Structure 1
Amino acid sequence: MADGEDRSPEDEFQELMRQLFGGQAGAIDPEQLSRLSGMGIDPAMMQQVMQHLQGAFTNAPAEGVSWDLAKRQALHIANQDGLGITTGERADLGEAFSLAALWLSEATTVPELTQPPRTLTRGGWVEATLPVWQELAEPVALSIADALTAALDQQVPEEMRAMVQGAGRLMRTVGGSLFAAQLGAVVGRLSTEVVSGGDVGLPVMPAGDAAILPQNFADFGRDLGIADDQLALYLATRELAHARLFRHAKWLRLHVMSQVTEFARGIHVDTEALEDLASRFDPSQPDELRRALESGVLLPQRSEAQTAALARLENLLALIEGWVDVVTETATTRLPDAFRITEVVRRRRAVGGPAEQALGSLVGLEVRPRRLREAAAMWRAVTDAVGMSARDALWDYPDLMPGSEDIDDPAALVARLQARARGDEAPRDEMDAALEALLDEAAADAAIDVADEARDAATGAADDEQPDDEQPDDGPAGPRPV
């Protein structure tokens, strides 16, 4: 009897798993796979799955997430059209950036960039921004990988435990790789939507780096009925304002990313949802996994801490975008269609594209500032009251930044800034009164302590001056006996 003829399909499958986890996947032959038909498994599909798994195992990174896979997937999508940047596009956008820099210098005191702006292909944008997307997505990727490892440990039958013992790290790699591939797909699709480096609000470009994607710029202006030169000038001004701000306020990038990290710290995967998906997952139908990842079904409802962190991040992004809006609006008053372009950009920022919505579901983070119009109104009020120099000075230090209460009520912020400009004492509020009361109480306590110390010191000095053989006498003084 030929070898293997007396074995059941289940035995064949277990033998395949032994070879895979034992590093012998290269020894699997098509005839062995064909005998799996008794289990209802397509041998061709199974061979492809095994090859993918073997590649993942062979190139498994130490941290369990193959970010190179994400990069390859993103670049594959970004470079599908094969289009580059023509000399004419580069020249036109270069002229737009040059004129925009002059206009912007009249609208803000934030200094110019030290390096020239760039025109990027979609693939170039992926290369430049992927490290930030990796930083955003890593907590979720590791959480999914850990959940798959736990599910493997809990659900593998007892008779197969010895076979898959030690495979936990490999399964963690598979989970991380699945997520990395999905992230790469989302970032690749996002590269077909963004028009500039600062288009998504987050500081995804290196500090002080401004760029426009000519391929997407052409799509952005299509059917708007606005001249390309006006669109280029407006978008170049906006991109330069965004890049200037992050280069000038060197603390701002870290401040934004720390808010993102604080939000991501509470991310975990819904294990029950993951197990349910795994129980009915068909490797020949990967779309189900893709839809599950993009729908956010694996991420449970946000905790209170996450909700608070997200609110702080949204306020910060609104302050940044609101300032960029106001500065761009001032700098582009010479453009006849500036108001129309502003409304188009605002609507686009409010809605977002399909890829950005998928990114929000994938990592649980929405990067659209909900309070953009309120923040812009606050910056306009500040500009009208104290001028652009005092307005821009608020970006010098984190402690000077307006807060969410200033977005709600700009009048109090304006009053403080006007008082500071006059050299007057700032208007007092309840917090000032409470602080003064605490300081007065502390000063009174300190005065009492000083008085006690002085009294103790005086008493000690008097004791030191009294002779040792002299005893206190309560009666009237008289001659001492000889």
Structure 2
Amino acid sequence: MSVQTPTTRYVDWEFAKATGRRLVAAGPRVTPGEAADVVASVRASAARAQGPVAETARLHAPGDAPAPVVVDRATWISLNADSMAALMDPVMTKLAASQRRTPGEAARAITGKVSGGEAGALLAFMAGKVLGQYDLAPDGTPALMLVAPNIVQVERELGLDPHDFRLWVCMHEETHRVQFTAVPWLRDHMVERVRSLAVDLVPDPESLQETLSRLATSLPDAVRAGGTGLVDLVATPEQRRALAEVTAVMSLLEGHADVVMDEVGPQVIPSVAHIRSRFDTRRKGAGALDRLLRRLLGLEAKMRQYRDGATFVRGVVDTVGVEGFNRIWDSPETLPRPEEIDEPAAWVARVHA
């Protein structure tokens, strides 16, 4: 029997998992033997990535850091549903407190199924896109996940050398594992900031109508212009500032991982330049529907995080070297501010003054 939490009162997460597993697209066709070989290959690539990443980033994961795990799409959905549930508990607590009347059991069940179905559909869409992820697991054990079917699908679509591409992906994801394990305070800091922002974004009953009106007015222009997620459309100026601060850190993390994976260089990954060229083209998205979903879900902004973050990291390293850049991990106060992502010299001046 599942434990009742504030989140499960509003979202049926088991139904979300079932919905996600039912809706997720089938992965590339492989025989059982090929699947076993892919899992073994990705696992070996993850282990091989640890040395070059530590040497390049000059950060070392502690010995007790959880090892990377290789998963399929269904497992990715289940683990992310658990993390989403834990992350959203404070949000649901606020929603419950703001209700003037407690809904009955039947109404809660219907609401939970509807919300669970929506969450499951979102997870199904994302499960076919993600190559790897460091799961912060707010109330559980964090772990690096590598999604084997997606890695195989992309290497086939782009005509890449499987050995090189799998190692390249693992370089990026291993960098995330190092970031969150070598920097002890970073995981709790990010979980707290994201939870705080999510709670703040929940409208009070008095302001709900104003929020919906703002969304209805802004959505058509946002869809046409692109690059704006739904959160941006309903946030106040203060909330946008808080969102920009979280986005700046995400840009740092993604950009740093991109720089490390490329800096490892052809001596470890012979086709690294070719992989980067082909992969950057893929990141732009495929058809019109895919681009629309990326805009509404904020994934266009996610793509900019890789580019802007990498530019910031390279700008800082060019000025003060890797050791000087690693001052960024000293404390939350040394993380880049939103305006510094586009002006790495401003971060250098503030931190190294």
TM-score bracket for this pair, using the shorter chain length = 0.7 to 0.9
Q: 1:408 to 1:324 in 2, by over 3 A?
A: same
Distance 1:273 1:101 in 2: 46
Give 1:266's aligned residue.
201
Residue pair 2:252, 2:309 contacting (<8 A) in 1 also: yes
How many Å apart are 1:232 and its aligned residue? Answer: 0.9
How many Å apart are 1:346 and its aligned residue? Answer: 4.2
Give the TM-score of the pair, scaled to structure 1.
0.56
How many Å apart are 1:120 and its aligned residue? Answer: 0.9
How many Å apart are 1:245 and its aligned residue? Answer: 0.6
- Specify the SS of the correspondent of 2:157: coil
Distance 1:248 1:347 in 2: 32
Q: 1:140 to 1:258 in 2, by over 3 A?
A: closer
Q: 1:348 to 1:398 in 2, by over 3 A?
A: farther
| Residue type at the aligned position of 2:69 | R
User: For 1:220, which of 154, 158, 169 is the aligned residue?
Assistant: 154
Larger Rg: 1
Q: 1:144 to 1:69 in 2, by over 3 A?
A: farther
Residue pair 2:7, 2:92 contacting (<8 A) in 1 also: no
| Residue type at the aligned position of 1:340 | H
Give 1:107's aligned residue.
56
Give 2:79's aligned residue.
128
How many Å apart are 1:302 and its aligned residue? Answer: 2.5
Indicate whether 1:209 and 2:143 are aligned.
yes
Which structure has more relative contact order (CA 8 Å, sep 6+)? It is 2
RMSD across aligned positions (CA): 4.1
Distance 2:111 2:47 in 1: 47
How many Å apart are 1:369 and its aligned residue? Answer: 5.8
How many Å apart are 1:235 and its aligned residue? Answer: 0.4
Q: 1:339 to 1:136 in 2, by over 3 A?
A: farther
| Residue type at the aligned position of 1:256 | M
Q: 1:378 to 1:167 in 2, by over 3 A?
A: closer
> Unpaired segments of 5 or more residues in structure 1?
1-59, 154-165, 275-295, 421-425, 427-482
Q: 1:168 to 1:338 in 2, by over 3 A?
A: same
- Specify the SS of the correspondent of 1:119: strand
User: For 2:236, which of 296, 299, 303 is the aligned residue?
Assistant: 303
User: For 2:270, which of 321, 325, 336 is the aligned residue?
Assistant: 336
Give 1:280's aligned residue.
none
How many Å apart are 1:229 and its aligned residue? Answer: 1.2
How many Å apart are 1:129 and its aligned residue? Answer: 2.0
Residue pair 2:15, 2:120 contacting (<8 A) in 1 also: yes
How many Å apart are 1:379 and its aligned residue? Answer: 1.5
Residue pair 2:61, 2:181 contacting (<8 A) in 1 also: no
Give 1:401's aligned residue.
335
Q: 1:348 to 1:305 in 2, by over 3 A?
A: farther
Residue pair 2:168, 2:261 contacting (<8 A) in 1 also: yes
> Unpaired segments of 5 or more residues in structure 2?
1-5, 213-228
Give 2:13's aligned residue.
67
How many Å apart are 1:347 and its aligned residue? Answer: 4.9
Residue pair 1:234, 1:328 contacting (<8 A) in 2 also: yes
Q: 1:186 to 1:411 in 2, by over 3 A?
A: closer
Give the TM-score of the pair, scaled to structure 2.
0.73
Indicate whether 1:97 and 2:46 are aligned.
yes
Distance 1:343 1:394 in 2: 29
Which range moves more in the overlay, 213-222 or 262-271?
A: 262-271
How many Å apart are 1:215 and its aligned residue? Answer: 1.0
User: For 1:197, which of 133, 146, 168 is the aligned residue?
Assistant: 133
Q: Deviations over 1:7-53 (max 9, x none)?
A: xxxxxxxxxxxxxxxxxxxxxxxxxxxxxxxxxxxxxxxxxxxxxxx
How many Å apart are 1:313 and its aligned residue? Answer: 1.8
Alignment of 1:460-479 (within 5 A): none
Distance 1:62 1:233 in 2: 38
How many Å apart are 1:315 and its aligned residue? Answer: 1.2
| Residue type at the aligned position of 1:266 | L
How many Å apart are 1:271 and its aligned residue? Answer: 5.7
Q: How many residues align?
A: 320
Distance 2:231 2:347 in 1: 42
Indicate whether 1:370 and 2:304 are aligned.
yes
Q: Deviations over 1:175-211 (max 9, x none)?
A: 232011210122123222211124xxx8469766223
> What is the aligned-residue identity percentage?
24
Residue pair 1:207, 1:243 contacting (<8 A) in 2 also: no
